[in-house]
Amino acid sequence: MTIEDSKRELLEKRRTEAKCASEKRHRINLIEDTLTVLADRSIDYQLLWDRSAEEWLESELPFMVSGAIDWRRVENKRLINGKVDRCNLSKNLSLLASEANLEMADDITILWSNANRPPISMTLESFLDNAIAIMDEDFDTWVISPPGNWCIEYHHSGSLGLAILTSSKSSQRTRNA
């Protein structure tokens, strides 16, 4: 390897690193309002950069072509009847969590329909305390707990539901392999 090859390789590595950093900054800018609210309220959170949360959601729940959960195919569910608007969203989210006995200290992951927005991980309690600011980021939002086997979906049509999975499809596939 010549000195020129080494320089070229180093420059390509630096360019790749700069491109990745730029992409992360762009993705963070997409949720800047939410991150500002969380920082102002001293909420602990973590940005997630891998696709494991999206992969879990896609593998565990049935979706319609529109991108919404196909609730007709979810056995164990709780749906809020009627359209849920922004004014009563927090109350209805808390009601779902309470009725299902979800643990407030559990870590959850928040996903948006725009996959360029990075998922955020925090406790369920922190999410519920800041739900409006978080869910205002996008039309559709999913709050998932892979260890707890549940998912909350707030769809832009105003539907709000909780799917409680009896067993994880991905863990069944692992056991059957």
Of all residues in the chain, what percent carry a pLDDT higher than 70? 94
Radius of gyration, CA atoms only, the chain: 19
pLDDT at 172: 44
Cα–chain-centroid distance for residue 129? 16
Of all residues in the chain, what percent carry a pLDDT higher than 90? 66
pLDDT at 122: 98
pLDDT at 92: 94
Q: Residue 81 CB: number of other CB atoms within 10 A? A: 7
Distance CA(39)–CA(50), nearest Å, equals 22
Distance CA(165)–CA(76), nearest Å, equals 7
Q: Are 129 and 135 in contact (CB under 8 A)?
A: no
3 state SS of 78:
strand
Tokens at residue 61, please?
């729940």
pLDDT at 169: 61
Regarding pTM above 0.75, the answer is: yes
Q: Are 57 and 142 in contact (CB under 8 A)?
A: yes
pLDDT in tens, 148-165: 999 999 998 889 999 999
Q: Where are the domains of the chain?
A: 31-176
Q: Which residues of 136-147 are buried (b: 16+ CB within 10 A; e: fewer)?
A: ebbebbbbbbbe
Contacts of 103 (CB under 8 A, 6+ apart): 124, 148
pLDDT at 176: 41
Amino acid at 103: E
Q: Given a cut of 90, is residue 63 above it in pLDDT?
A: yes
